[in-house]
């Protein structure tokens, strides 16, 4: 049975369409919903965890309907929300035992001890959470979530606000859970993390999925190299032979080409010929950022009407 399935899952907040006909199938993997702030990630997770009723469409978790079989769905999942919520006046162990009891596990204390050990919190388990660092609190939330060995784990931006080392550690733990057989549905706006640690990603923008697949496959849709130029001046998108324009992020414009070294001078010349000033050029292998740029057109948040028009124009060109 598929862990998570959605068909045309849609949520309107008044007139605003936060999630737009999302259809997904996730099973036995670390699946990342990747997108900038406000793209609809949290809204999607809330619908899947039975905390929000969809306007339209259906979602199932382990075969149970999220809208009509909420009780069964909640038995199968664990949910760690975007904003950390652990009781700082309780100890780490108390926090986890409390959840173990609410999940109704057979031996709350033993299960809690195991979960704390997996999250490497055993030696600090009896300290008040007040004394924990941000990364430890996140791990404590993971311990709470895995104490009943859920089939599906929902993590909403698990690395938000953590430093680099703590993030890496969280991801290592998520991989560990995956290897224990859990399906992990995670949201993030960090492209590099999704790239490194997730089996499959869906790029979401304004509530719609723009691309979905293994990071490697997605990157392979671009050509071998990506060239990014930092420019000033009026930019009008163009293509040069086999060199393809990818998108623009503030003053950076990106292109993709089979042979980046040869493309560099061509791009520089073309930019200058079109009246722009080129400040720097760089060459790198495709990243998910580039994929995002390619499918969304521009990775900065909409600012002005012109910006919108620019994007519409880009879409038409494709």
Partner 1 sequence: MKGIWHYMERDLVKWARGRVAVITLLVMPAAWLIFVGLALPVRFTGNYLDFITPGILVMTMLASSLQGGSLLMFDKILGFLNKFLALPSPRENILFGKILFITIRGVIQATVILLIAILIGATILSPLQYGMIYVILILFGILFSGLATTLALYIDDHDSYAAVNTLISMPLFFMSSALMPYSVMPSWMRSIAMVNPLSFAIDAIRSVGLGEVPLMQMGLLFVTGGLVLIVCVQVFRNMTV
Ligand X SMILES: Nc1ncnc2c1ncn2[C@@H]1O[C@H](COP(=O)(O)OP(=O)(O)O)[C@@H](O)[C@H]1O
- Residue 205 dihedral angles phi and psi, to the nearest 5°: -140, 125
Give the pair of three-digit tokens for residue 159: 């690395």
Coil, helix or strand at residue 155: strand
Q: Does 37 bind ligand X (CB under 6 A)?
A: yes
Closer residue to Mg ion, CB minimum distance, 42 or 183: 42
Asked whether the beta carbons of 170 and 161 are under 8 A apart, the reply is no
Q: Does 42 bind Mg ion (CB under 5 A)?
A: yes
Residue of 27, 28, 29, 38 interacting with ligand X (CB under 6 A): 38
d(CA 88, CA 32): 29
Separate counts of helices (H) and strands (E) for the chain:
11, 14
Of all helices (H) and strands (E), which one includes residue 308? helix 305-317
d(CA 313, CA 190): 27
Asked whether the beta carbons of 35 and 205 are under 8 A apart, the reply is yes
Closer residue to ligand X, CB minimum distance, 71 or 83: 83
User: CB of residue 32 vs ligand X: minimum separation in angstroms?
Assistant: 12
User: CB of residue 157 vs Mg ion: minimum separation in angstroms?
Assistant: 6
User: CB of residue 63 vs ligand X: minimum separation in angstroms?
Assistant: 25
> Which of Mg ion, partner 1, ligand X, none is residue 35 near (CB under 5 to 8 Å by kind)?
ligand X
Closer residue to partner 1, CB minimum distance, 77 or 136: 77
Q: Does 151 bind partner 1 (CB under 8 A)?
A: no
Asked whether the beta carbons of 134 and 161 are under 8 A apart, the reply is yes
> Which of Mg ion, ligand X, partner 1, none is residue 85 near (CB under 5 to 8 Å by kind)?
partner 1
Total residues interacting with partner 1, rule: CB under 8 A: 27
Q: Does 74 bind partner 1 (CB under 8 A)?
A: yes
- Distant-in-sequence, close-in-space partners of 103: CB < 8 Å, separation ≥ 6: 147, 148
Q: Does 49 bind Mg ion (CB under 5 A)?
A: no
d(CA 266, CA 241): 10
Segment contacting partner 1 (CB under 8 A): 5-13, 97-105, 170-178, 226-234?
Answer: 97-105
Residue of 6, 22, 34, 35 interacting with ligand X (CB under 6 A): 35
Q: Does 210 bind ligand X (CB under 6 A)?
A: no
d(CA 17, CA 39): 10
Listed residue (212, 189, 180) closest to 199, CA to CA: 212
Q: Does 39 bind ligand X (CB under 6 A)?
A: yes
User: CB of residue 39 vs ligand X: minimum separation in angstroms?
Assistant: 4
d(CA 218, CA 198): 13
Residue of 3, 4, 9, 18 interacting with ligand X (CB under 6 A): 18
Asked whether the beta carbons of 39 and 53 are under 8 A apart, the reply is no
Residue of 31, 99, 185, 245 interacting with partner 1 (CB under 8 A): 99
Residue of 2, 29, 36, 98 interacting with partner 1 (CB under 8 A): 98
Listed residue (277, 193, 271, 175) closest to 227, CA to CA: 271
Binding site for partner 1 (CB under 8 A): 46, 49-51, 53, 71, 74-75, 77-85, 87, 89-90, 94, 98-99, 101-104
Which residues would be at the binding site for ligand X (CB under 6 A)?
A: 13, 16, 18, 35, 37-43
């Amino acid at each position: 049975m598929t862990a998570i399935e959605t068909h045309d899952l849609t949520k309107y907040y008044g007139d605003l369409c936060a999630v737009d006909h999302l259809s997904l199938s996730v099973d036995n993997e670390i699946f990342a919903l990747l997108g900038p702030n406000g793209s609809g990630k949290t809204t999607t997770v809330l619908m899947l965890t039975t905390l929000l009723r969809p306007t339209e469409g259906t979602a199932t978790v382990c075969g149970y309907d999220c809208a009509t079989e909420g009780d069964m769905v909640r038995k199968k999942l664990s949910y760690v929300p975007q904003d950390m919520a652990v009781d700082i006046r309780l100890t780490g162990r108390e926090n986890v035992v409390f959840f173990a009891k609410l999940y109704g596990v057979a031996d709350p204390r033993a299960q809690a001890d195991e979960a704390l050990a997996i999250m490497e919190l055993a030696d600090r388990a009896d300290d008040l959470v007040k004394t924990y660092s941000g990364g430890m609190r996140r791990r404590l939330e993971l311990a709470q979530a895995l104490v009943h060995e859920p089939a599906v784990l929902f993590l909403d931006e698990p690395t938000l606000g953590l430093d680099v080392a703590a993030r890496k550690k969280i991801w290592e733990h998520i991989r560990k859970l995956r290897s224990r057989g859990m399906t992990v549905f995670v949201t993030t706006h960090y492209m590099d993390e999704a790239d490194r640690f997730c089996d499959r990603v869906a790029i979401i923008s304004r509530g719609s999925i723009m691309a979905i697949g293994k990071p490697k496959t997605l990157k392979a849709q671009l050509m071998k190299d990506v060239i990014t130029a930092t420019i000033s001046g009026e930019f009008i998108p163009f293509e040069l032979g086999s060199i393809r324009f990818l998108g623009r992020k503030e003053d950076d414009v990106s292109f993709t080409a089979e042979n980046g070294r040869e493309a560099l001078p061509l791009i520089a010349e073309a930019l200058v010929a079109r009246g722009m000033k080129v400040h720097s050029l760089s060459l790198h292998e495709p990243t998910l950022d580039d994929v995002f740029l390619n499918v969304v057109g521009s990775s900065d948040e909409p600012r002005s009407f012109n910006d919108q028009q620019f994007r519409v124009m880009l879409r038409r060109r494709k």
